[in-house]
Every structure is written in structure tokens, then in C-alpha cells.
């Protein structure tokens, strides 16, 4: 089948394209934003990607099916041609996944505001390392995986990231409604995606629809420390297991500690020690991701006693690209990139960096780019999150002109409030000014160490790579002089 992906370079769309290519379909697509890592992975797989949208190019491709990504809307020339000409059938990504991947399977669906990609990748990693050949569909690029999606062996568990965002411009249901989970992981529930949800109650409403799809012989694995996640009384039609720090949970995360080499914690299942984990990932949030993934994988194979499932391979998990990636290191500066697109995610990352690098100066550089971060609705939460850094450099609001001033995040006000609280807050109109500020205030060798972490779900105008290269280059020059 000839399949054309409209908006192919989004993480989920790209992985679906790769999977269909591996199944023998002829795959091509288009996108306005074509950038690594997904553009590189698609090219390596032989998937033809065209930059920009052109109805003539779509017509000449003569696809038998067009998959319309949820980032594509009315006004797009290829969408308008599809609707006018009616020559080719179109579908949403979740419908495609349900049709080609999930039919006849018992999916492990990983949902929640934060941690979906990492938890999904962890569950797939654990299942692979136990000798099972799982299917998986992950909205990112996990390290150690050839790609973010595989069909897996027939009858093996299938892990899929369940996003609450809408399916397509013609299907406003959350993506995860299409996936019909057998095991549902609920990491957390917070207000996000301010462009499609009114408030937290609206977000909770769509999750409530998802809960109703879990069968009586299925499971919901819920964050027991999050008051918005379900308890047994909320979902009497299925079974609920709770995971968290509090001893009242079924699976308890105990004795968490972290340092510059990573973190350690112990998983205790209903009073019995399951495993003490030591790995190079930081943060309580990642310990929770690991606990959720471990229990999901274990329940898929040994629901009668999940502690039979071996967790030796947790320490070997290599992570997911753009989740606190170390981009460069010198004698006095470490440069990280993080897919921070919500104040809670920013807060978790900064808290972990503070624990791992005590005494260092932490500089957060933020691009307000996600549809939630661009808006003022979570401005106070963002201030609280960035207060975890010593310095906060804020870039211009992405596509800020598309939002009314009263609705748009006020970066100058955020910077001023941070400065009032004793932090060094700065707001910039151009990315070049951020690079100049970082260069102007570069620490001297032998002085206080600086941790620079860039938060963005996009490319940040290319300044991350440029700054990382300058730090690495300066370090190499100093070594050469020695």
C-alpha cells in the first residue's frame, strides 16, 4: 500500500511511518518543520520526506491512504485539496495505529501528563531484555532501539504511548481513546494542552473516558501520590494498582537518593522488596517512571506475582533522546538539553540537577514553544519552576503574534518576578541575544561550576548546538594549550 503522511516529522507520525515502511508499505510524506533526530532516522530508512506542503506533490504521489497528523489543520493546501477532490481516503494517526498494530493485541497504554515517552521506552526495554519480543510504539527516539516502533512477535505484549492530545482536525477525541488498553498506566494528571482543554476538569474528563475502556480482566496502574489519578472506587469495573512514595501504595518507591553519577531507590511490592535499582538517571520523577514501567511489564507476564519479573536490566536503560541530554562539557560548564514543555517538567529537572550538582550555578534557558507554555495560564507555575535555577534566560514566545497580549506568556514579567525573588531573570527578543549573554557571563576556569540547561520541545533556533559547540571548542583549545 502507498501511504502518505501529512506532517511526517512529528515523533509519533515519524515512528508510524517507519513501522509501515518495515511492514513493506511504500511510505512518503511532507512537513513544514523537518529537523533531527526524526528527519535523520526517516532518511536512513529510505522514507521520502518533502519540506513544505504542496497539493500537486500530494496528487502526484497517488497514495492509497493519507494519514493526517494532528498538527495539520484546515488551510493547509494538501488538506484543502484532499477535502475538495476526494480522490484519496484519509485517516488519523491513532486510527491507523489501531488498525495496523493493535488489532487482536492486549496493549499496555502509557498515559499521563508527564513521563509517557520515558515510561513507554522503559517498559519496552524491560520486556526486550527478558527475551520477549514486544511490539511498541513510542513518541520519541529511545537510545538502544533501532527505531521507536516495532510490531513485535505475535501474542507478545504491545507497549504504546497514549497521548491525551486530539487525534486530528476532524477527530477531536484524545488519541488514547483509540487504543483500548488492557493494562493502563496513569503517570499523573495535570492541566496541559491549553489550546484544546479548558481547564483541569476538562483534562480529567477525557481521562475518565479512557478509564471506561479498560476491561474487567485488565489493570489500571495509577500514581498513588497524585490526587487526580483514579482509585478503585472510581473504576469499579476493573482492577487498580497504585504506585508511589507513600507506604499505602501497592508498589512503593523507597530510599531514593541521587548524586552526580545518577540515583538509587528500592521497589517494594506489597511489603516485599522487589529490587534495589542503581542507575545513571536522576530525579524522583524518573524513579516513578521506572516503577510504573517495571510493574506494567511484570503484570503483562506475571500478574499473579510481579516480583517474578527480573529487573536486572533497568540499570542498563540508555534513556530517550532530548531528555536531559548532555550536549557538551568543559572544565567549568556542562550543557544539557531537555524536552521541557510544561512547568512541572521544568521543576522536576531543575530539582534533580540541584541534587546532582550541589554548589554549581544552574542556568535555565527556556523557549516558550508548546501550546501551554506560550500562554499565560501557567505563568505563576512557570515562575515557581524556574525559581529552582540561579539564572533564567527566557527566549521570545514562539508564534507570539498569534496570541492576544492578555493570553500570551509575559516573559518580561516572569524575569522580573524571578529577579525579585533573588534569581537572575532575563527576557530576550532574539535568540542571538541569549548566546551573547551566555558568552558575556562565562565563568572563569577554576571558578564555580555552571550547569546550563536548555528547555524546548523544538529546535530553539539552532542555538543549543551552537552553544554546545562553543563550549566543547573552548575546552579543546584549553587542552591544546596545556
Architecture of domain 2-88: 3-Layer(aba) Sandwich (3.40)
Which CATH class for the 95-316 domain? Answer: alpha beta
Whether the per-residue pLDDT at 478 is higher than 60: the answer is: no
CA distance 104 to 98: 10
Check if the beta carbon of residue 374 is closer than 8 Å to that of residue 405: no
Structural domain boundaries of the chain? 2-88, 95-316, 325-481
Q: Do the domains at 2-88 and 325-481 have one common CATH topology?
A: no
- For the domain covering 325-481, report its CATH number: 3.90.190.20
State residue 143's pLDDT score: 86
Q: State the SS3 of 55-68.
A: HHHHHHHCCCEEEE
Q: Please tell me the pTM assigned to this model.
A: 0.87
Place of cell 523537518: 34
Torsion over CA: 310, 315, 318, 320 (sign): positive
The DSSP call for residue 102 is: I
Q: Report pLDDT digits (tens) over 353-403.
A: 999 999 999 999 999 998 889 999 999 999 999 999 999 999 999 998 999
DSSP secondary structure code for residue 98 in this structure: I
Question: Using one digit for the tens of pLDDT, what is the confidence trace for 218-255?
Answer: 999 999 999 999 898 999 999 999 999 999 999 999 99
Amino acid at each position: 500500500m502507498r501511504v502518505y503522511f501529512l506532517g511526517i516529522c512529528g515523533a509519533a507520525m515519524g515512528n508510524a511511518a517507519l513501522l509501515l515502511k518495515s511492514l513493506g508499505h511504500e511510505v512518503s510524506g511532507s512537513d513544514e518543520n523537518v529537523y533531527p533526530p526524526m528527519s535523520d532516522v526517516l532518511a536512513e530508512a529510505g522514507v521520502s520526506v518533502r519540506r513544505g506542503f504542496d497539493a500537486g506533490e500530494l496528487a502526484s504521489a497517488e497514495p492509497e491512504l493519507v494519514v493526517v497528523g494532528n498538527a495539520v489543520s484546515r488551510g493547509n493546501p494538501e488538506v484543502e485539496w484532499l477535502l475538495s477532490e476526494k480522490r484519496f481516503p484519509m485517516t488519523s494517526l491513532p486510527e491507523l495505529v489501531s488498525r495496523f498494530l493493535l488489532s487482536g493485541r492486549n496493549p499496555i497504554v502509557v498515559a499521563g501528563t508527564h513521563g509517557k515517552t520515558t515510561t513507554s521506552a522503559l517498559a519496552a526495554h524491560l520486556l526486550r531484555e527478558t527475551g520477549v519480543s514486544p511490539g511498541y510504539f513510542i513518541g520519541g527516539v529511545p537510545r538502544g532501539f533501532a527505531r521507536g516502533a516495532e510490531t513485535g512477535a505475535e501474542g507478545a505484549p504491545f507497549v504504546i504511548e497514549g497521548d491525551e492530545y486530539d487525534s486530528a482536525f476532524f477527530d477531536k477525541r484524545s488519541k488514547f481513546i483509540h487504543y483500548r488498553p488492557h493494562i493502563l498506566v496513569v503517570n499523573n494528571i495535570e492541566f496541559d494542552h491549553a489550546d484544546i482543554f479548558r481547564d483541569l476538569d476538562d483534562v480529567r474528563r477525557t481521562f475518565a473516558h479512557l478509564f471506561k475502556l479498560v476491561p474487567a480482566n485488565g489493570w489500571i496502574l495509577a500514581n498513588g501520590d497524585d490526587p487526580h489519578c483514579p482509585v478503585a472506587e472510581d473504576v469499579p469495573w476493573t482492577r487498580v494498582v497504585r504506585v508511589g512514595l507513600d507506604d499505602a501504595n501497592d508498589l512503593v518507591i523507597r530510599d531514593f537518593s541521587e548524586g552526580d553519577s545518577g540515583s538509587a531507590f528500592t521497589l517494594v511490592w506489597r511489603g516485599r522488596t522487589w529490587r534495589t535499582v542503581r542507575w545513571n538517571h536522576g530525579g524522583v520523577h524518573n524513579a516513578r517512571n521506572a516503577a510504573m514501567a517495571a510493574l506494567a511489564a511484570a503484570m503483562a507476564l506475571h500478574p499473579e506475582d510481579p516480583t517474578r519479573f527480573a529487573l536486572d536490566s533497568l540499570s542498563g536503560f540508555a534513556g530517550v533522546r532530548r531528555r536531559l541530554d548532555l550536549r557538551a562539557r568543559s572544565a567549568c560548564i556542562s550543557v544539557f538539553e531537555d524536552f521541557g514543555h510544561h512547568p512541572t517538567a521544568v521543576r522536576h529537572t531543575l530539582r534533580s540537577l540541584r541534587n546532582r550538582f550541589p554548589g554549581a550555578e544552574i542556568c535555565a534557558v527556556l523557549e516558550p514553544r508548546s501550546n501551554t507554555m506560550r500562554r499565560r495560564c501557567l505563568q505563576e507555575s512557570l515562575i515557581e519552576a524556574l525559581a529552582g535555577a540561579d539564572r533564567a534566560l527566557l527566549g521570545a514566545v514562539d508564534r507570539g503574534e498569534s496570541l492576544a497580549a492578555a493570553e500570551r506568556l509575559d516573559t518580561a514579567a516572569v524575569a522580573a518576578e524571578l529577579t525579585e525573588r533573588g534569581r537572575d531573570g532575563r527576557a530576550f527578543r532574539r535568540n542571538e541575544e541569549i548566546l551573547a549573554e551566555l558568552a558575556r557571563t562565562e565563568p572563569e576556569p577554576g571558578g564555580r561550576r555552571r550547569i546550563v540547561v536548555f528547555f524546548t520541545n523544538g529546535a530553539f533556533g539552532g542555538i543549543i548546538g551552537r552553544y554546545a559547540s562553543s563550549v566543547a571548542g573552548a575546552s579543546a583549545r584549553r587542552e591544546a594549550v596545556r
